[in-house]
Structure 1
Amino acid sequence: MIKLFDLTLKLNGFQMKKAKAELDKIVSLSEEKHRLFIETKKKEIVAFHLQHNPYYQDFVGKSAVENWEEVPIMQKKDFQKPLVERISKNYTIKSIYVNKTSGSSGDPFVFAKDKYAHALTWASNIYRFGWYKIDFNRSLQARFYGIPLDFIGNKKERIKDFLSHRYRFTIFDLSDEVLEKVVQKFRKKRFDYINGYTSSIVLFAKFLQSKNIVLKDICPTLRVCMVTSEMLFEEDKILLEKQFGIPVVNEYGASELDLIAFQNPNDEWQVNAETLYVEIVDENNTVLPYGKEGRVVITSLFNKAHPFIRYDIGDIGILDERSTLQKPILKRLIGRTNDIALLPSGKKSPGLTFYYVTKSIIEDDGNVKEFIIKQTKIDAFEIDYVSEKELTSEQIGKIESAIALYLEPNLNFTFTRKRSLERSNRGKLKQFKSLLSSQTLV
């Protein structure tokens, strides 16, 4: 069998053999040698960009830094300039891997990796998916992702799907009629695993539940499901594992970096400590101890084409108290820093707090399929939802009482039943959105 996936990476100039060998070497390091590896790579990547990247030299403002804490934190707004002005000397747009972020954070930008750094990203993916016996050359993926709708962009993605041994389901229409066709495809194809956006896969599981179907019963080759890009709630994970009949793995990544954390077979959300260095910091940029909540800041240890050094990815999270430098464990991912609700009392609360509070109540009877929350005023919120039947006044009263208890009283809510919810052009569902100005939230 021709290994199309490996062949494609090779033809694109990615040194996979070398990258896999280096990753294997890092993974096998002792705890002490891994500590030395991290410290060495941190110093090397900062020194490289201070010497070879004029953009980073200007950003830091000096030619050398003595202590890691002196290295300034980078944010997405710092990348709002042409890519050619941000890449290191001796690299050109044609010689590197170039892509763009989805813009879900509100600050989309074009980014770059040198080809060896991107080869290590693929080696990292291959290694972690291998925990579940997934081989990108042989294992058939059922892919629940968005896709460009323009002709050229669409065809490019379809070609990538073919070369990567995956079948893509469109997620822009997830009506019952479309989901019935998805079920029929699972009856016919020998899928090995599912991968895609959490909200779309959860919606599919709810459809299966309504039809009393366990997916593995109709597609016995299925082994595992990986969800990504959106929050996975514990009750949703339970639903997925019940309706799919397979383990569900939580993935956390960023296109400009790598896989950041990936649930291992021991049900730990294991952080990538091979190609990345992850820190949690407070509002003063002070590094927090394990167990404390703060902003997720990440350093790409190998990317020489473009600096991602102490890069504030825009998320809030907690590293588990059991974490070590060699094996950090992500205890919880709370949400994006720009998804903050400002309440009349002056309290700031992650938008997902509303989602947690309403979710358990709103889905008691399985009537509501999906919902999103928008803050329109300091004391006003809109909840748009998709359901079989309209919410009753009793259900709405329970939600408002819970929000008053967990957040604060006298908040105003309007509930609007919709046929479908607005997704991004890539098919992501933004679960909470504040329409207040960013200045209000400072």
Structure 2
Amino acid sequence: MRLFDISLFLKRFPIKRAKEELLQISKINETDYEAFLKAKRAEIATYHLKNNSFYRQKVKGDFSTWESLPILKKADYQIPLKERLSKGFSEKNVYTNKTSGSSGNPIRFAKDKYSHAITWAYHMERFGWYGIDFNSSLQARYYGIPLDTVENKTVRMKDFLAKRHRFSINDLSEKALDEMLKVYKQKPFEYINGYTSSIVLFAKYLKEKNTILKNVCPTLKVCIVTSEMLFEVDKILLENQLGVPIVNEYGCSEAGVIAFTNPYGEWEVDSKTLFVEILDEADKPLPLGEEGRIVITSLHNKAHPFIRYEIGDYGSLSEKSTFKKPILKKLTGRTNDFAILPSGKKAAGMTFYVITKKIMEESGNIQEFKVIQTKIDTFEINYVSKEKLTEEKKQSIAQTVTQFLEPGLTFSFQRKEQLDRTASGKLKQFVSLVER
């Protein structure tokens, strides 16, 4: 029984029509694809200029060229949702959600029923690359769960309809991981999906137990990690200990999947429901291969305008990219994940994390850690480990990071039982508490 499709249909999300449109888009030739994208983006911009007073005020007139349209930031959406909806839409006839708030204050947003359906259809198409069917494939899920009773029951019902078994990521103790492994021995999971850090921690546990998960759960086909950075060393660990392909999913709640690892190992960008741009600080398009701000346009959302919307991430597109098949070459991190150093130098927060990770994991002692910038020259490293770091190891980490960045930085180390996560269970690996 196709419970997942039926659940979308009952909520009046026209999933069948959405799948049919995606199929038609797939048939467009590469030579015609640039024209297709230009027509779709002009169509959605024209629609909102005509039907959305919020967007009309932002544009201040008709647009002559695509580049003349304004870049919208999250701050532009910090007004009540009802004031941002297009004509004919209300909160009663749209899908509503909110952003995670990881890049600042969360914003509520809306998608019309068809737009939400086509997001799901695209999602299902990408997972289908690896033989996953949302109607029949059992998922091992590593996400948080609301504590509120009503929201908790709603999530549990969604899990049932989508054939998902949700593991608690609030307790990742060895006892909890032992119980987790027992579940894999009992249930025919076909795929793992969830936050990178939690799945990596489980993989480290498997390595200690000298266990390959595919041997324990032979139905397993693929692992899809999302929402947190996936480093190459962790990808190798996951491949070795899970025994299945590792897929890196990059997206945001406002748009859905932005990039997804295809079967050729490329981080393929959605060019069917989105138009993705890489812009410099002056809002000018950058050549392929150059790093800049990621800006997206939702090509189907008529209820709420996400047109040239800066999502808060930096990255670059591969030189091999085409209009039909853009490839994400690199994802640097969020705009607020940069550290401002005493010299004025701006460094990606992930720099600290990558350097520290390499040093700390050489011992095999560290399970998880995060870096917090508490002052412009001071960084606190919180970590979970079997044994406390020696003073020699702490000094080695401090010296290496200092050499890579600049002198005069101070580091402190705090051993924790477990690391603080967001309400959804996400681990932010770098946090800056310094006012910009």
TM over 0.5: yes
Identity of aligned pairs, percent?
Answer: 57
Match of 1:89 among 87, 90, 106: 87
Deviation string for 1:128-162 (max 9, x for gaps)?
A: 00000100001000000001011111100000000
- Kept after mapping to 2: 8 A contact 1:112/1:305: yes
Q: Equivalents in 2 of 1:196, 1:186: separation in Å?
A: 16
- Kept after mapping to 2: 8 A contact 1:278/1:297: yes
Deviation string for 1:223-268 (max 9, x for gaps)?
A: 0000000000000000001010111000001111121000000000
Alpha-carbon offset, residue 393 of structure 1 = 1.9
Equivalence for 1:360: 358
Deviation string for 1:319-358 (max 9, x for gaps)?
A: 1111111111001111100111011111001101101111
Equivalence for 2:14: 15
Equivalence for 2:49: 50
Q: Equivalents in 1 of 2:403, 2:315: separation in Å?
A: 24
Match of 2:270 among 261, 269, 272: 272
Q: Equivalents in 1 of 2:68, 2:167: separation in Å?
A: 47
Q: Equivalents in 2 of 1:121, 1:394: separation in Å?
A: 51
Match of 2:71 among 62, 70, 73: 73
Give the 3-state SS of the residue equivalent to 2:220 in structure 1. Answer: coil
Please state if 1:339 is matched with 2:337.
Answer: yes
Equivalence for 2:255: 257
| Structure 2 counterparts to residues 134-153 of structure 1, below 5 A | 134-153=132-151
- Kept after mapping to 2: 8 A contact 1:423/1:430: yes
Alpha-carbon offset, residue 99 of structure 1 = 0.9
Deviation string for 1:255-305 (max 9, x for gaps)?
A: 111210000000000000000000111111111111111110000011000
Which structure 2 residue ranges, 5 or more long, are not aligned? none
Match of 1:298 among 296, 299, 302: 296
Alpha-carbon offset, residue 405 of structure 1 = 2.0
Q: Equivalents in 1 of 2:389, 2:244: separation in Å?
A: 32
> Given residue 60 of structure 1, which amino acid in structure 2 is its aligned partner?
V
Equivalence for 1:377: 375
- Kept after mapping to 2: 8 A contact 1:403/1:409: no
> Given residue 229 of structure 1, which amino acid in structure 2 is its aligned partner?
S
Alpha-carbon offset, residue 365 of structure 1 = 2.1
Equivalence for 1:190: 188
- Kept after mapping to 2: 8 A contact 1:269/1:330: yes
| Structure 2 counterparts to residues 218-233 of structure 1, below 5 A | 218-233=216-231
| Structure 2 counterparts to residues 60-209 of structure 1, below 5 A | 60-62=59-61, 64-209=62-207
> Given residue 249 of structure 1, which amino acid in structure 2 is its aligned partner?
V
Equivalence for 2:30: 31
Please state if 1:3 is matched with 2:2.
Answer: yes
Q: Equivalents in 2 of 1:237, 1:28: separation in Å?
A: 33
- Kept after mapping to 2: 8 A contact 1:375/1:433: yes
Q: Equivalents in 2 of 1:181, 1:187: separation in Å?
A: 10
Equivalence for 2:286: 288
Equivalence for 1:321: 319
Q: Equivalents in 1 of 2:58, 2:133: separation in Å?
A: 41
Q: Equivalents in 2 of 1:148, 1:358: separation in Å?
A: 32
Q: Equivalents in 2 of 1:53, 1:249: separation in Å?
A: 38
Q: Equivalents in 2 of 1:366, 1:11: separation in Å?
A: 50
Structure 1 range deviating more: 31-40 or 191-200: 31-40
> Given residue 306 of structure 2, which amino acid in structure 1 is its aligned partner?
F
> Given residue 11 of structure 2, which amino acid in structure 1 is its aligned partner?
N
Give the 3-state SS of the residue equivalent to 1:273 in structure 2. Answer: coil
Q: Equivalents in 2 of 1:256, 1:104: separation in Å?
A: 13
Give the 3-state SS of the residue equivalent to 2:129 in structure 1. Answer: helix
Match of 2:242 among 241, 244, 260: 244
Give the 3-state SS of the residue equivalent to 1:132 in structure 2. Answer: coil
> Given residue 351 of structure 2, which amino acid in structure 1 is its aligned partner?
T
Q: Equivalents in 1 of 2:9, 2:392: separation in Å?
A: 60
Match of 1:395 among 381, 393, 401: 393
Alpha-carbon offset, residue 28 of structure 1 = 1.7
- Kept after mapping to 2: 8 A contact 1:26/1:34: no
Deviation string for 1:84-138 (max 9, x for gaps)?
A: 0000001111111111111111120111001111111011001100000100001
Q: Equivalents in 1 of 2:353, 2:24: separation in Å?
A: 42
Give the 3-state SS of the residue equivalent to 1:133 in structure 2. Answer: coil
Q: Equivalents in 1 of 2:7, 2:307: separation in Å?
A: 29
| Root mean square deviation of aligned Cα | 0.8
Alpha-carbon offset, residue 83 of structure 1 = 0.5
Give the 3-state SS of the residue equivalent to 1:95 in structure 2. Answer: coil
> Given residue 96 of structure 1, which amino acid in structure 2 is its aligned partner?
V
Q: Equivalents in 2 of 1:394, 1:28: separation in Å?
A: 60
Q: Equivalents in 1 of 2:289, 2:187: separation in Å?
A: 44
Q: How many equivalent residue pairs?
A: 436
> Given residue 243 of structure 1, which amino acid in structure 2 is its aligned partner?
Q
Which structure 1 residue ranges, 5 or more long, are not aligned? none
Q: Equivalents in 2 of 1:390, 1:337: separation in Å?
A: 33
| Structure 2 counterparts to residues 395-434 of structure 1, below 5 A | 395-434=393-432
> Given residue 28 of structure 1, which amino acid in structure 2 is its aligned partner?
K
